[in-house]
Amino acid sequence: MNFIYQAITIVAIPLTIGIIPNAASSHASLVIISQASSTDFSRMGDDFFNNKDYKGAIEAYTQAIKLNPNFAEAHQSRCLSRLLIGDYPAALVDCNNAIRIRPDYADAYRVRGTIRLKLKDIRATVADWQTAANLYNAQGDRENFEYMMNRLKNVQQELQRIQQR
């Protein structure tokens, strides 16, 4: 009789884990990983992100990356989540990975530039935002191209002030 109860418990745990990734033991996490795809975890991360639960989002995106290390969007989404909680070094690593996987990923350059601005590396910010603007333009994304050109204008003025000191 105990055996049947344990089997039912094991089946019920992954359903809970799928909703609340933090609530699982490491053993239970392994069960859900084998059942969920990287896309499932990425969507779960998006839900956490949209609810401003950035730590939950990071955990879900991490599971997506474990299942598919070349999932550039999961790296980028985890990057943005880490940026929003102020973990700039880890965010920078995630952006670099997204760019390594997808060198034409304009959003990754845009966010990496923002991280570098937070780290007060204005020259690198300018380089990343210029790359993002060029990619947006090449991809026909006029709205983001114009947005980046405006941000570039402002940060380049700041860079000129720094250089004049």
pTM score of the predicted model: 0.74
Angle in degrees, CA 5, 6, 12, rounded to 5: 90
Cα 44–chain centre separation = 13
Angle at 82 (CA atoms; ends 79, 83), nearest 5 degrees:
85
Taking only the tens place, the pLDDT of each residue in 37-80 is 999 999 999 999 999 999 999 999 999 999 999 999 999 999 99
pLDDT bucket at 10, cuts 50 / 70 / 90: very low
Contacts of 75 (CB under 8 A, 6+ apart): 61, 65, 94, 95, 97, 98, 101, 108
Local confidence band at 154 (pLDDT 50, 70, 90 cut-offs): confident
In eight-state DSSP terms, residue 36 is: S
Q: What is the pLDDT of residue 30?
A: 39
Residue 108 in tokens: 């990754």
Rounded Cα gap, residues 108 and 131, in angstroms: 10
Asked whether residue 13 carries a pLDDT value surpassing 70, the answer given is no
